[in-house]
Chains A and B, each alone.
Chain A
Amino acid sequence: MSEDTETMPIEDYLAQGGQLTSPANVPPRYRGELLRLMASFVDSELAASAGFADTINTAPGITARIAACKITLEKADHAGRVLDLMGDFGADQGRYATQHPWADRLPRDAALGQARHGADMRLAVFHYPIEGWVDAVVMNVLQGLAAGVTLDEMARVSYAPLADVFRAIAPRERRHTELGVTGLAEIAATEAGRAEAKASVVYWRPRVADSFGSLASARFETQKRFGLRHRPNEALLADWTAQVQATLAPLGLD
């Protein structure tokens, strides 16, 4: 970091695919959108971790129990890594992490759609309660696939330290989904298990789909201009839809 004369406006630089590297060189509006995006990720990971913690005790067997522990642990860790970056911008990390009751959930039949709810920025899907082990596994698989699609998109984010974090955590998030798919295959091996899983798929599928946000989003254009996003919500949703079908069909759950 130092200075020179042959520069260009930061907006042009971003529009041409440039990356920013520290709080010192981000423009104000970029700062706002970037922090919002990071807060949404942190809140979703903390809420996901908190929600999954309860499922540890419903896990059938030690392997399943360890998988649930691992997911609970690593989602909190991923939140911490992004919160560290928010700290570079001045966020009070200690207060932030305890700011909201991350384990709080709404009733199962609440109808949030795509709207955020309450005081934190978690995706709406993390406001719905998980009911039992099978439900947890199904939610983890569907939401895990969604996280995979989102992380592919976010690994190109123009704030380089954040892109680095997303690239580092993507393989671990992918592993969470793989653990889920293994668990789901075991569940779907019996008729009773398959029926229960199917009911959970019916419940979670539209709710996870909603987390891709509104189609033709106005905010997307702003984020795209800043290089914070690249592909529209529609494209991400289509990727996820295809992946869900490819994952569920072999298990007889589609």
Chain B
Amino acid sequence: MARFHSLDVVDVRKETRDAVVVTLKPRGEDAALFDFTQGQYLTFRRKFDEDELRRSYSICAGKGDGLLKVGIKRVDGGAFSTWANEELTAGTTLEAMPPMGRFFTPIEPEAARNYLGFAGGSGITPVLSIIKTVLAAEPRSTFTLVYANRQISSIMFREELEDLKNRYLGRLSIVHVLESEAQDIDLFTGRVDAEKCAALFRTWIDLPSISTAFICGPEPMMLAIAGALKEHGLAEAQIKFELFASGQPGRARKRAVSAEATASNSTTEATVTLDGATRSFRMPKEGQSLLDAALSANIDAPYACKAGVCSTCRAKVLEGETEMAVNHALEDYEVRQGYVLTCQCFPLSDKVVVSYDQ
């Protein structure tokens, strides 16, 4: 299981009005662990009041840059991103897991490929890492970037991209598409949707020559672009996605546990929610796991190993007290939030309320 390591913040640079680029340095013994691949991300953890928050941000440095940098755009109500944009300074220590993610294709120095990238807003971060790495490490390859933003002032890494264009003359072309600012050419104004893609493929991008397309942006944009790419002949395997981590709430929700009075019954009233349907049944406190009890009650709960190893049967205890016999899969912070492995979970209180939907 991945563990957290301390990273020293050596620089925090304002990139746009609401985005910063944070440069990090692993401690000596951790250097190899943080030897990332282009397009990967780091997961940070930090305590806000009593809640531990975990947030993932993409690396924006190239593999050969010798630096570890992430881009953090502020989201409304986002505790971590607001803190990073307003309070984070050089000299701070951050905790992060080693780089993760599979948003890349292997680099082959001899290859002469044409890559295509679509980035929406801060979705540029991992794409920039890929662009830098490809241009430096595959000298015969080219990259075309379609970069969607609201307006010029919100474009992240605008100067850096211009510099790359000049440094790798003829190998990087960039199409800026601005939603709310008119440009000389109509094609470059508006949203990147299926229609816009079709127009780009007719005039600016020779799709049959493209080996891989990378897309990172909000969901509707990714759907539209992926659909257009497939419609125009790209195979599924040629399209690589990275989704915004938009499903993450701004704040960790607290575990809602009512510490019930000491239990006296030998059975428990269990209430289990799965796929929006809630069922109640009685189960013994001993001898049968919550998962097995749910399965016996004809609830089609997910599970696999039944040994506390695989985490398939994870659910959240919303009310009541339980204990786990074995846990090889959940981390401490998940347990603190109320998550349990139901295959290893036994009720202690007279009533438990558990959900597989949260």
A positions within 8 Å CB-CB of B: 1-8, 10, 12-13, 16-22, 24-29, 31-33, 35-36, 39-40, 43, 86-92, 95-96, 99-100, 119-121, 155-156, 160-161, 163-164, 167, 218-219, 222
B102 interface residue per 8 A CB criterion:
yes
22 contacts between A and B (CB under 8 A): A2-B58, A2-B123, A3-B73, A4-B75, A4-B121, A4-B122, A10-B246, A17-B226, A18-B223, A19-B241, A21-B103, A24-B43, A25-B246, A28-B315, A28-B356, A35-B302, A91-B311, A91-B329, A92-B310, A155-B237, A160-B240, A164-B102
Q: Are B313 and A32 in contact (CB under 8 A)?
A: yes
**With A2-B125, A4-B218 given, is the CB distance from A25 to B244 under 8 Å?**
yes
Given A16-B223, A24-B245, A95-B307, output 6 extra A-B contacts at Cβ < 8 Å: A4-B123, A17-B227, A18-B219, A29-B302, A31-B314, A90-B331
B305 interface residue per 8 A CB criterion:
yes
Q: Are A39 and B236 in contact (CB under 8 A)?
A: no
In the complex, A163 Cα to B237 Cα: how many Å? Answer: 8
In the complex, A99 Cα to B330 Cα: how many Å? Answer: 17
Chain B contributes a number of interface residues (CB within 8 A of A) equal to: 70
In the complex, A40 Cα to B122 Cα: how many Å? Answer: 37
A33 proximity list for chain B (CB < 8 A): 302
**Shortest CB–CB separation between residue B43 and chain A, in angstroms?**
7
**With A29-B356, A33-B302 given, is the CB distance from A8 to B220 under 8 Å?**
yes
B126 interface residue per 8 A CB criterion:
yes
B306 interface residue per 8 A CB criterion:
yes
Q: Are B78 and A3 in contact (CB under 8 A)?
A: yes
**With A7-B218, A35-B311 given, is the CB distance from A90 to B78 under 8 Å?**
no
Q: Are B357 and A29 in contact (CB under 8 A)?
A: yes
For chains A and B in complex, what number of residue pairs have CB atoms within 8 angstroms? 190
Chain B, Cβ-Cβ closest to A39: B304
B57 proximity list for chain A (CB < 8 A): 1-2
A19 proximity list for chain B (CB < 8 A): 222, 226, 241, 243
In the complex, A218 Cα to B295 Cα: how many Å? Answer: 15
Q: Which of B102, B309, B316 contacts A160 (CB 8 A)?
A: B102
**Shortest CB–CB separation between residue A84 and chain B, in angstroms?**
10
In the complex, A84 Cα to B310 Cα: how many Å? Answer: 11
Q: Are B1 and A90 in contact (CB under 8 A)?
A: yes
B306 proximity list for chain A (CB < 8 A): 119
**With A32-B313, A39-B312 given, is the CB distance from A3 to B75 under 8 Å?**
yes
In the complex, A35 Cα to B341 Cα: how many Å? Answer: 13
B102 proximity list for chain A (CB < 8 A): 21, 160-161, 164
B221 interface residue per 8 A CB criterion:
yes
Q: Which of A17, A28, A39, A219 contacts B300 (CB 8 A)?
A: A219
**Shortest CB–CB separation between residue A251 and chain B, in angstroms?**
33
Query: Within B56-71, which residues are at the interface with A (CB < 8 Å)?
Result: 56-58, 71
A18 proximity list for chain B (CB < 8 A): 219, 222-223, 226, 243
A6 proximity list for chain B (CB < 8 A): 120, 218, 220-221
B201 interface residue per 8 A CB criterion:
no
**With A4-B122, A18-B223 given, is the CB distance from A25 to B243 under 8 Å?**
yes
B358 proximity list for chain A (CB < 8 A): 28
B159 interface residue per 8 A CB criterion:
no
Q: Are A36 and B302 in contact (CB under 8 A)?
A: yes
Chain B, Cβ-Cβ closest to A83: B310
Q: Are B100 and A88 in contact (CB under 8 A)?
A: yes
**Shortest CB–CB separation between residue A100 and chain B, in angstroms?**
8
Chain B 281-319 interface 0/1 with A at a Cβ cutoff of 8 Å (1 = within): 000000000000000000011111111011111111000
Q: Are A25 and B247 in contact (CB under 8 A)?
A: yes
**Shortest CB–CB separation between residue B104 and chain A, in angstroms?**
11
Chain B, Cβ-Cβ closest to A16: B223
Q: Which of A4, A86, A100 contacts B120 (CB 8 A)?
A: A4
Chain A, Cβ-Cβ closest to B74: A3
B78 proximity list for chain A (CB < 8 A): 3
In the complex, A47 Cα to B218 Cα: how many Å? Answer: 40
B81 interface residue per 8 A CB criterion:
yes
B109 proximity list for chain A (CB < 8 A): none
Chain B, Cβ-Cβ closest to A40: B304
B242 interface residue per 8 A CB criterion:
yes
**Shortest CB–CB separation between residue B160 and chain A, in angstroms?**
16
**Shortest CB–CB separation between residue B278 and chain A, in angstroms?**
14
B76 interface residue per 8 A CB criterion:
yes
Q: Are A4 and B246 in contact (CB under 8 A)?
A: yes
In the complex, A155 Cα to B328 Cα: how many Å? Answer: 30
**Shortest CB–CB separation between residue A213 and chain B, in angstroms?**
13
Q: Which of B71, B220, B236, B310 contacts A96 (CB 8 A)?
A: B310
Q: Which of B56, B241, B304, B328 contacts A24 (CB 8 A)?
A: B56
B310 proximity list for chain A (CB < 8 A): 35, 39, 86, 91-92, 96
B72 interface residue per 8 A CB criterion:
yes
B101 interface residue per 8 A CB criterion:
yes
A95 proximity list for chain B (CB < 8 A): 307, 309, 328
B41 interface residue per 8 A CB criterion:
yes
**Shortest CB–CB separation between residue A49 and chain B, in angstroms?**
18
Q: Are A167 and B237 in contact (CB under 8 A)?
A: yes
Q: Are A39 and B305 in contact (CB under 8 A)?
A: yes
In the complex, A96 Cα to B306 Cα: how many Å? Answer: 11
Q: Are A121 and B241 in contact (CB under 8 A)?
A: no
B347 interface residue per 8 A CB criterion:
no
B120 proximity list for chain A (CB < 8 A): 4, 6
B217 proximity list for chain A (CB < 8 A): 4
Q: Are A32 and B314 in contact (CB under 8 A)?
A: yes
In the complex, A99 Cα to B306 Cα: how many Å? Answer: 10
